[in-house]
Amino acid sequence: MVRIKDIAKAANVSTATVSYVINERGNISSDTRKKVLKVIKELNYQPNNVAKSLKINKTNTIGVVVEDITVFSSPEIINGINESADENGLSILLTNLRVHRRIGNNFGEFDKCRTDVKAAVEELVSRQVDGIIYVGVHNRDLTGLIELDKPVVFSYCSSRTENQFSVNYDDELAAFEATNYLIGLGHQKIALISGLIDSIPAHGRFLGYYKALVSHNLEFNPEYVKTGDWEYLSGYTMAKELLSVKNRPTAILAMNDLMAGGVFEACRESGVRVPEDLSVIGFDNRECSFYFTPRLTTVNLPLNEIGMKSMEILVGAIRKSDIPETDVKLKCNLVERESVMEYSTVR
Amino acid sequence: MVRIKDIAKAANVSTATVSYVINERGNISSDTRKKVLKVIKELNYQPNNVAKSLKINKTNTIGVVVEDITVFSSPEIINGINESADENGLSILLTNLRVHRRIGNNFGEFDKCRTDVKAAVEELVSRQVDGIIYVGVHNRDLTGLIELDKPVVFSYCSSRTENQFSVNYDDELAAFEATNYLIGLGHQKIALISGLIDSIPAHGRFLGYYKALVSHNLEFNPEYVKTGDWEYLSGYTMAKELLSVKNRPTAILAMNDLMAGGVFEACRESGVRVPEDLSVIGFDNRECSFYFTPRLTTVNLPLNEIGMKSMEILVGAIRKSDIPETDVKLKCNLVERESVMEYSTVR
DNA sequence: CTGAAAGCGCTTACAG
DNA sequence: CTGAAAGCGCTTACAG
C-alpha cells in the first residue's frame, strides 16, 4: 500500500503539500501540483479514508437501519436514500434487522427487537456515522426507540423526540382522493375494507374515506366498513360479507392491494364482475396489483421520494444548513387501471 | 466524547490496560479489570472503531455493490448477506448502482455503467473494506469488471478472475426437474417459452428442458420452443402461437413468472382452462406468481442462500481459513400450486 | 508558496 | 500483571 508519505518522498515535497493538492486546498503552485499529481498517478495512490475520518472526525457515512429489507416498501426507500446519498457524496452503512422473520406481523412483539436496535445503533455509532436513518416497515410511533445526540430520521415510521425527524406519506389525503375519485365517477355506495384499525395508516385512511363521504353529503354507512388484517384472505372474507349486504355497495376501497386481491377472488366466486358490477381500488401499488385480473387501480406510494427526502433532511440536520421539517408527509398518487368503472354504466 | 485515555486516567491505569480489558486480551488481574469495567460504564464509553480500524488495518467491513436494489432478486440476496454478516460480526457498506433506471434491461449498454462500478469499488477500497460482494440482477459473465487484490465474490453473476468467486443457482437442474415433474404427471407434449437466448440462465434452462425430454425418450419438437423476452407480453404472444400449433402442447414451461402470467392471459382469451386444458409452470417464484389465477406452480430461487453463501465464501477467502469453491451453483426447488394437473385427467 | 510537527483514538510489542 | 511509547495514515494550524 502506498501512503501520502511515499508520494511526498517520491515527489520531493512534504506530506502537507501532498495532502493539500489531494484536497485542493491551500495555495500550491501549479508546478508542484502537477508534479505531485503525476507521482500519485504513477504510484497508483489510493487514499485511506479511515485515517482521514479519524483525523477530521467525520466519516461522511450514514447508518441506515432497516427493519426488514424483504418487505415490499424497503428496497424503494433504500433506493431513494442511495440516490440522495450519491448526490451528497455520502456512503451507507446498512443494517438489516430482519424483524419480519422474527416476529412476522405481530408488532406487539416488537419489544423483542428493541435490544437489536440498540445494538445496531451502538455499532453504527462506534463506526462514527454522521447520522442515522431508521426505515420502518409501516408507519407507527417509535418515540424513544433511539436515543442519540446525532440526528436521526425515521423513514416510514415516526418519532417525536428532539433532533429526530419523520418522513411518511399522507394516508388521509390519499384515501380522501381515492374516495373522491369513486364519487366523481358516480359511486355513492362505497365500502371500505380496513386494515387493523390500531395502526396509524388504517386510521388515516379511514379518516380520508370518511371525510370524502361527508364532503359530498353522502351518508356514512357503518355496514359498509369491514375490518380485515391486511392479508389476502381477510379481503376475501370481508368482500363476501359486503356482497351479501342488502343494499350492496357499488365500489370497494381496500386499504391494501392484497386485500383487494381477496376481493377479486370473492367476486369471481360470486359471479360479480369487476369493474362492471363492482369497482375496486387498492392501496400500495405493489407489483402484484398490476398482474391481478383485472389490473388493479390503486394508490401508489412515494417510496423513493420518502427515501430521498429522509436523506435530504438528515443532511440538512448534519450540516445544520437549514432547519428541516420534523414531520413530513408526502403525497401519494392514484394509478388508474382497469378495476374501476363509472357508476352510470353499472347494472 | 470519552476516549480510552479518559478511562485510563479515571481508573488510574494505563491506556494499554484499558485496551486489554476491552479486547479481553493479555493477563489482567480480576481487580483491575473490574475497576476498568466500572469506569467504562460510569463514563458511558463508546469505542471508536475507526481509530481501531486504522491501527489494526482491518475494518471488519464488507463492501456490497448491488446493480439494482429494486430488482426482485436483490433484497433477498442482501438479506442473506446480512444474515451471514451478522453471524461473522461484519458490517456492510452498501452501494446501489441503480443500473435499471439507467439502462433498463438493455444489458448491451452496461458499458455505460462500468465507470460507475470502478468508482464504487474505488470508494469502497478507500474505506478499507476487507472484501467485496457484487450482486448482479441476473447471471452473466462479468470477468474483468473488477480488478482488486482483495477477495471479491459475484453473487447472481459470474467472474473467472483469480481470487474471485461466483455464486448462482443451477438453472439447468431446475429446468430439468421442472420438466421431469411434468413428464412424471403424464405430459409428453411440453412446450417451452424461453427468455432471450443469449443469456446464461436461458441457455441453462433450455438445456435442462432438453435433457429431461431426451432422458425420457421424448421427441424434441422445435415447434414447441418459443423465444420471448422475459416480459409479460411476450409470454402472451408466444402462448397464442403455441395454442394454435396443430398438435397443441398439454403443458408449458415458461422461463419466468411474468411470461407465465402472459400465458394465463392468452388462455383466458382463448377459453383454454388452466390447469384442466393446459398445465403451466413458471420460474422465479416472484410474489405475483402467488396471486395469479390460478396460483402458479413455479421454481423457487434460493436467493437468501445465495446471499449467505456469498458471504461465507468471502469470509473464508478473507480469513484464508479454507479454500472456497470458485463457482457455486445452488439448488432451486419447485413450489407446487394450482397451475399443473396430471395429463390423464386432461380433456 | 512550502515544510516540520502535533495529534485524531486506538493497539501492541517490549520492558520491567 | 502493568505501563511507556511508538505508530497506523491522514490533516492542519503555524512558522518561515
Q: Which amino acid is at A245?
A: V
Task: Give the span between the Cα atoms of B34 and B88, in whole angstroms.
Answer: 28
- Just give the CATH number of B171-301: 3.40.50.2300
Task: Give the span between the Cα atoms of B136 and B157, in whole angstroms.
Answer: 5
For an interface test with A, which of B91, B115, B232 has the most A Cβ atoms less than 10 Å from its Cβ? Answer: B91
Task: Give the span between the Cα atoms of B196 and A225, in whole angstroms.
Answer: 48
Task: Give the span between the Cα atoms of B235 and B265, in whole angstroms.
Answer: 9
DSSP assignments along A296-314, one per residue: PEEEEP-HHHHHHHHHHHH
Q: What pLDDT was estimated at residue A300?
A: 98
Which residues of chain B lie closer than 8 angstroms to A290, CB-CB? 288
Q: Which of A75, A307, A312, A287 is nearest to B66 (CA)?
A: A75
List CB contacts of B12: < 8 A, sequence separation 6 or more.
B35
Task: Give the span between the Cα atoms of B123 and A139, in whole angstroms.
Answer: 34
List CB contacts of A222: < 8 A, sequence separation 6 or more.
none
Q: Which of A296, A295, A278 is nearest to A345 (CA)?
A: A278
CATH topology of domain B4-47: 434 Repressor (Amino-terminal Domain) (1.10.260)
C-alpha cell at A329: 408527509
C-alpha cell at A111: 419489544
By C-alpha distance, the chain A residue nearest B81 is A96
The DSSP secondary-structure symbol of B331 reads: P
Strand D: which residues 3-22 of B lie within 7 A (CB)?
A: 12-17, 20
At B237-265, the pLDDT tens digits run 999 999 999 999 999 999 999 999 999 99
Q: Yes or no: is domain A58-169+302-331 CATH 3.20.20.10?
A: no
8 Å CB contact of B70 and A75: yes
Omega within 30 of 0 (cis) for the link into A294: yes
Domain ranges of chain B: 4-47, 58-169+302-331, 171-301
On the 0-12 / 13-18 / 19+ scale of CB atoms within 10 A, B217 is exposed
- A248 in contact with nucleic chain D (CB within 7 A): no
- Sign of the four-CA dihedral B310, B316, B318, B322: negative
Task: Give the span between the Cα atoms of B311 and B130, in whole angstroms.
Answer: 12
Choose the closest CB to A96 out of B49, B72, B82: B82
CA distances from B33 to A336, B20, B50 (A): 67, 9, 24
Q: Give phi and psi for A37, each to the nearest 5.
A: -55, -40
- Tally Cβ neighbours within 10 Å of residue A217: 6
Q: What pLDDT was estimated at residue B2?
A: 92
pLDDT < 50 stretches in chain B? 346
Give the E-state strand segments of B90-229 in sequence order. 91-96, 131-135, 152-155, 164-169, 190-194, 225-227
At B282-323, the pLDDT tens digits run 999 999 999 998 999 999 999 999 999 999 999 999 988 777
Q: What pLDDT was estimated at residue B110?
A: 87
Q: Which phi-psi region, left, alpha or beta, contains residue A274 (left: φ > 0; alpha: ψ -120 to 50)? A: beta
pLDDT per 10-residue tile (average), chain A, 347 residues? 92 93 87 92 94 95 97 97 96 95 82 92 95 96 94 96 94 98 96 93 97 96 96 96 94 97 95 96 96 94 98 92 86 97 71
C-alpha cell at B191: 412446450
Residue B39 is inside which H or E element, if any? helix B30-42
C-alpha cell at B188: 409428453
3-state secondary structure of B332: coil
- A16 in contact with nucleic chain D (CB within 7 A): yes
8 Å CB contact of B82 and A91: no
Task: Give the span between the Cα atoms of B35 and B33, in whole angstroms.
Answer: 5
Task: Give the span between the Cα atoms of A338 and A260, in whole angstroms.
Answer: 13
Q: What pLDDT was estimated at residue A345?
A: 54
Task: Give the span between the Cα atoms of B17 and B28, in whole angstroms.
Answer: 8
Whether the domain at B4-47 and the domain at B171-301 fall into the same CATH topology = no
For an interface test with B, which of A61, A68, A69, A98 has the most B Cβ atoms less than 10 Å from its Cβ? Answer: A69
C-alpha cell at B13: 491505569
Q: Which residue is nearest to nucleotide C7 (CA to C1')?
A: A55
The DSSP secondary-structure symbol of B107 reads: G
- Tally Cβ neighbours within 10 Å of residue B186: 15
Q: Give phi and psi for B200, each to the nearest 5.
A: -60, -45
Task: Give the span between the Cα atoms of A313 and A325, in whole angstroms.
Answer: 8
Task: Give the span between the Cα atoms of B51 and B55, in whole angstroms.
Answer: 6
